[in-house]
Structure 1
C-alpha cells in the first residue's frame, strides 16, 4: 500500500479514536488503504478498534468483505473473539457464510468459539470437529500460560520412553533426580547438562522435555524420534519467540514454524490453529495427537531422566 493513502503515522496497535479516523477519511484517506501498516484499516479495527470506528470504516469501504491474506474483516473479528465487532460488520453487509480460509467461513469458524450461535442458522460442527474443540479447551486449561522461556519439548506419536531411548542411543540416568536437577540449576549450559533430558509417557506417545535448553528441538533428535511416526518440537526462545519444527518418518519437513500462530490462507489445519491460537505448548501435544492427563511431561517429575550421546545433533 502506498504512502499517500492518508494513514501515514497511524499506529494501528494503539488504535485511533473515531474523531481522528473520521477526520482522516474526510481529508481523503483511502478507507481501504493502510500506509504504514501491513493490514487494511477495517481488518485492524475489527481486531483492535472501537465499535464506532469499525462501523465508520465499514460504511466507507468499497467492499466490506474484501480479503487480506485470505480472510475478511469479519473473519478477523470472529478469530479474535470480538463478537460485538462481528455484529457491527454484519449490520454493514458483511457475509458471515462467505467461503474463505480453506472452507472456514466466519460463521463456520464461530461454531468452534465461545458464541456458536453468533450468526444463527442452526448449523453445527461435525462430531470430530466438536471433539477437537473440547480437547483444545481441556489442554488449554491443563497447560494454561504463562510459560517460562528457555525450555524445549518434543512430542512424539505412537512410541514410549523405552523406544525413545533406543532411537536416540540414550541411556537412562539412575542418579538421584534432585541431585541431577541441582547440577542443572547450577549451570544449565554445562557440557553435561546439555545432553540430559526428561522423558515421560503420555496417552498417545511420549514427550521429551529439556526445561533449561533447546536440546529437545535439535534436528537430529526429532528426526531420530520420528521414524515411522510424527514428532513436533518447540524451543521457547527468549529472543525470537517460540520456534517449532516438524519431522515425519525420519525427515525434517518443517523448521522455524510458529506454534500458536494463526493459519495461512490455504492452510489445511485452519480449525486446529484457530483453537490453539496463542497456546503454543498445547498445540505441540494436539498436533501429534497426544492426550496428557496431567502436567508431568512438562513440569515433572518425568518417568525418566535420560542422557543422549555427545555428538552433533544439528544435522
Structure 2
C-alpha cells in the first residue's frame, strides 16, 4: 500500500507513540518513517514515545541524526529529559556530541540535567564550565523552592536589586488596605476591571523583589516595568490563559525584549547562556524569569502570596 497524504500518521496522538504494535501497523500500511505532519516521527517518539517505538523507527529511517527545525531526535530526547529514549538513539548510532545550538550538543547539555552520566564523555570533549555548573545547581534549587505553580491569568514583574518599599516608591503607589481585599482576591472578575487592575502585591526576595497581580497583567505593563527597571533590569511576565506565557525585558527604563516566551525553546540564534537557561527552566516561566534577573526566592510566597505589601497604582501607570 502506498504512502498516504501527510505521511500516513493522521490522527496519531501522543499516546500512539507508546504503542509499538500500533506504530508497526501504521508502518506496514504505508506510513512514512521520515514524515509526520510538518516534522519527523522519530522526533515525536523521542519525546512522547516508548524506547521500543524509538528503536523501531530508528531502525527504519535513513539518518538517525536528521534534523527537524532546530535539532536531532537525540537533542529532542535530551531536552525532554527522556534518558531512556536518548540511550536507545545513541545505541542506534545518533551522535551525542554533534553540535546543535551555539556550543551545545545533546551530550554536553545532558551534563547540566538530571542524568549527567547519560553518555560517556570522550577524551578531549569539553564539559560544563564552572559558571554553567553553578547555573545548573541554582536551577535545581530554584525550581524545587518554587514548586509547581499555577499562574494562568497572573501578571508578574521580577526586579533585581530593589525591595518592596522601593518598588512602591518607583511606582508612586499607595498602600492598599481596603477591607474588601479578601473579596477581591476571591472573585476579582466581580470588580470593575479598571480599578482591580490598579491593585498589585510586592514582595522582597533575595536578589530583589517580585510585583504580582493574581488576576491581571498590570505588573507586565510598560507603565510598571519602565520605572521599576531604573538602574537595573526587570523581567515582565503575563501568563495569558489564551496564548501562553508572554515575557519582556526592560533595562534602565528601556524595553529591550518583548513578545518573549520564557520556559520555551531553545531557539535558533540563542546564545550559549540562553540555550542553557531554556533547558534548565523548560516549561517553567516563573523560575526562568527569576533566574534571568538573579532573584533567588527560597519559597513560592512571592508568587502565591500573601505579599509583603498590597499597593494601589496611580491610574496613569495602567494607561501607559
2:277 is equivalent to residue 249 of structure 1: no
Deviations 1:253-294 (A, max 9, x none): 333322221211221201111111111221121111111123
2:234 is equivalent to residue 239 of structure 1: no
Find the partner of 2:230 among 227, 231, 247: 227
Kindly report which structure 2 residues correspond to 1:95-114, keeping only aligned pairs within 5 A, or say none: 95-114=95-114
> Per the alignment, do residues 3 and 132 of structure 1 end up closer, same or farther by CA in structure 2, a change over 3 Å counting?
farther
2:313 is equivalent to residue 308 of structure 1: yes
Matched-pair contact (CA < 8 Å) for 2:4–2:31: no
Q: Tell me the secondary structure at the aligned position of residue 89 of structure 1.
A: helix
Structure 2: stretches of 5+ with no match in the other structure: none
Matched-pair contact (CA < 8 Å) for 1:184–1:193: no
Q: Tell me the secondary structure at the aligned position of residue 133 of structure 1.
A: helix
> Per the alignment, do residues 61 and 92 of structure 1 end up closer, same or farther by CA in structure 2, a change over 3 Å counting?
same
Deviations 1:231-250 (A, max 9, x none): 11212222332222222222
Taking the aligned partners of 1:192 and 1:70, their CA distance within structure 2 comes to 44
Taking the aligned partners of 2:159 and 2:182, their CA distance within structure 1 comes to 24
Taking the aligned partners of 1:207 and 1:6, their CA distance within structure 2 comes to 48
Structure 1: stretches of 5+ with no match in the other structure: none
- Structure-2 residue corresponding to 1:53: 53
Kindly report which structure 2 residues correspond to 1:43-82, keeping only aligned pairs within 5 A, or say none: 43-82=43-82
Taking the aligned partners of 1:90 and 1:187, their CA distance within structure 2 comes to 52
Kindly report which structure 2 residues correspond to 1:144-155, keeping only aligned pairs within 5 A, or say none: 144-155=147-158
Which one is further off, 43-52 or 139-148? 139-148
Which one is further off, 241-250 or 276-285? 241-250
Aligned residues: 310
Kindly report which structure 2 residues correspond to 1:244-283, keeping only aligned pairs within 5 A, or say none: 244-268=247-271, 269-283=274-288
TM-score of the superposed pair, with normalisation by structure 2: 0.88
Q: Which structure has more helix as a fraction of its residues?
A: 2
- Structure-2 residue corresponding to 1:181: 182
Kindly report which structure 2 residues correspond to 1:19-168, keeping only aligned pairs within 5 A, or say none: 19-34=21-36, 37-121=37-121, 124-168=127-171
Q: Tell me the secondary structure at the aligned position of residue 104 of structure 2.
A: coil
Deviation of the 1:26 alpha carbon: 4.2
> Per the alignment, do residues 208 and 64 of structure 1 end up closer, same or farther by CA in structure 2, a change over 3 Å counting?
same
Taking the aligned partners of 2:102 and 2:313, their CA distance within structure 1 comes to 41
- Structure-1 residue corresponding to 2:297: 292
Taking the aligned partners of 1:26 and 1:211, their CA distance within structure 2 comes to 52
TM-score of the superposed pair, with normalisation by structure 1: 0.89
Task: Calculate the aligned-residue CA RMSD, in Å.
Answer: 2.4
Taking the aligned partners of 2:10 and 2:185, their CA distance within structure 1 comes to 48
Which one is further off, 199-208 or 155-164? 155-164
Q: Tell me the secondary structure at the aligned position of residue 15 of structure 1.
A: helix
